[in-house]
Amino acid sequence: MHDPSKVIKSEYVYDIESNVIFEIPPEANSSTGNTGILATSYLYNTRGQVIEKISPDKGHQYYEYNDDGTLNKIIKADLNQLIFQYDFLGRLSSIYESVYDDQGSYERVIKIYDDCSNVADYLPDIPALSNVLSEITNTRGRLVADIARLSPEEYVIDMFSYNDEGKIGAKYKYIKHASANGLGWQKIAYLLCGV
């Protein structure tokens, strides 16, 4: 039997152009009158693109767009920025997060699509990178590198090569940690069995 008291319900408020302007999570109880404290609100530009998001957990986030309408940057409450880059056809080519903290400024999360030729721009001192790059194939429109930095000198790199069907054929992992000078590249190959 259905128990109405156990229903989890989120509420959404829209403007005249069907843009979500408020998102009220299940925890907010309208009977207490505190829905505004828990609600996430959105502001839009004349193109209908989000330009500001205010949420109780992440604070203010600002969104900037390129002239062609593609997302250029998200500026977070802590002033860290997510930067989006595109190729000449307007396809997403990389995403990175610029971090400003007590260790200086650096790119914490980097995702590179399509072309792996600029991986060395982000982390120039990676041993045997050219060997791995020579094995990366069929990357068009796909994630090539996922780089996560714990600090300016500590990071994990995952690079992907794809087979002719567009499925991951191999994953290459490199870990650099302060307590070690790098563990070297590890290759994980995927064997796909036909049905």
pLDDT of residue 54: 94
Average pLDDT on 13-39 reads 75
Decide if pLDDT at 6 tops 80: no
Contact between residue 175 and residue 183 where contact means Cβ atoms under 8 Å apart = yes
Contact predicate 162/138, CB 8 Å: yes
The pLDDT of residue 175: 86
Average pLDDT of the chain, as a whole number: 83
**pLDDT tier, 61 (very low <50, low <70, confident <90, very high otherwise):** very high
pLDDT, greater one: 30 or 173: 173
Handedness of CA 10, 15, 20, 21 (dihedral sign): negative
Please give the structure tokens belonging to residue 12. 């959404």
What pTM does this model have? 0.71
Rounded to whole angstroms, the Cα distance separating 47 from 69 reads 8
The residues that bridge with 83 in the sheet, in sequence order, are 73, 96
Residue 48 binned pLDDT confidence (cut-offs 50, 70, 90): very high
pLDDT band at 2 (very low <50, low <70, confident <90, very high): low
Dump pLDDT digits (tens) for 108-137. 888 888 877 777 777 767 778 888 888 888
**Residues contacting 17, CB < 8 A, separation 6+:** 44, 48
Please work out, in degrees rounded to the nearest 5, the angle formed at the alpha carbon of residue 8 by the alpha carbons of 7 and 11.
120
Distance of CA 33 to the CA centre of its chain: 35
Query: What is the CB neighbour count within 10 angstroms for residue 114?
Result: 17
- For the stretch 139-162, pLDDT in tens is 888 899 998 888 777 888 899 999
**Rg (the chain; Cα; Å):** 22
Q: What is the mean pLDDT of residues 151-174?
A: 88
